[in-house]
Every structure is written in C-alpha cells, then in structure tokens.
Homo-oligomer: A and B are copies of this chain.
C-alpha cells in the first residue's frame, strides 16, 4: 500500500498534519481539498490507509453516523486525551494535570488499559456554554 506518491495523497496528508487538533469528516476533507481535485473515494481510500498506518485515528460524534478523522502522529497528540464539544464539534487537547494518574488508576483498579489516542471525552466547551447560557 501507498507505493506511489500522488498529488491527492500528498494533499491529504498535508492537510491533516496541518490541523492536528481538529476532527474532520471525509466530506469536509474532500471539500477543503477541492482545489486539489480529490474524489471522495480517493479520500476514503487514503484515509483508510493512514488509519491502518496509525498516522490518524477515527472517532465519531455521538449523534451522527459520520466517521471523523484526526491526525495523531504528532507527539503532543498521542500523549493527550481529547475533549470533543457536542455542540460545536470542535476537538481540544486535554492538558489537565492528574490525567495520567487517573489512567494508571484505571489500569490498577478496573484492569483496563485506556488507549489515549482514541478516547475522547464528550461534553460542552466554554464557548458553547457561554453562548447558550446553559448551566444545567
């Protein structure tokens, strides 16, 4: 797999690596790369490859059946958990002290090895809380 370096392949990899904190759907990527003229199927096929290479990871929003893709190659991305706002869909790094300790505790207490790169905590980000005046 991935023997040739095509215009489409390069554009896709570049785009994702330039947005390490964001998750995109295949359609979003295709339209962002419209100037590069990539077909949706090429996007899907190349995303699949990148996923199996571990360069990016798949996630999903809770009430959509879209699959989202996020660059995880960057050191900084693999070490953090991520936070996803269920209102605006943005993804954030979770740079919170004590996270590692909790993950260790989970391993000891619950006999479960958490995979940092694929787990995403859901909730509402500050921006959305504010703009919605929501305090429930």
Residues of A at the B interface (CB closer than 8 Å) are 58-60, 62-63, 65, 67, 83, 85-86, 92, 94-99, 101-102, 105-106, 109-115, 118-126, 129
Nearest CB in chain B: distance from A123 CB, A? 4
Chain B residues, Cβ within 8 Å of A94: 106, 110, 112
Q: Are B124 and A110 in contact, CB atoms less than 8 angstroms apart?
A: no
Q: Are B122 and A109 in contact, CB atoms less than 8 angstroms apart?
A: no
What DSSP secondary structure best describes chain A's contact surface? mixed
Nearest CB in chain B: distance from A89 CB, A? 14
Q: Are A96 and B113 in contact, CB atoms less than 8 angstroms apart?
A: no
Q: Are A109 and B123 in contact, CB atoms less than 8 angstroms apart?
A: no
Chain B residues, Cβ within 8 Å of A124: 112-113, 115
Q: Are A98 and B102 in contact, CB atoms less than 8 angstroms apart?
A: yes
The list of the 6 closest CB pairs from A to B, nearest first, reads A111-B126, A114-B123, A119-B122, A60-B60, A115-B123, A119-B121
CA distance A10 to B98 in the complex (A): 44
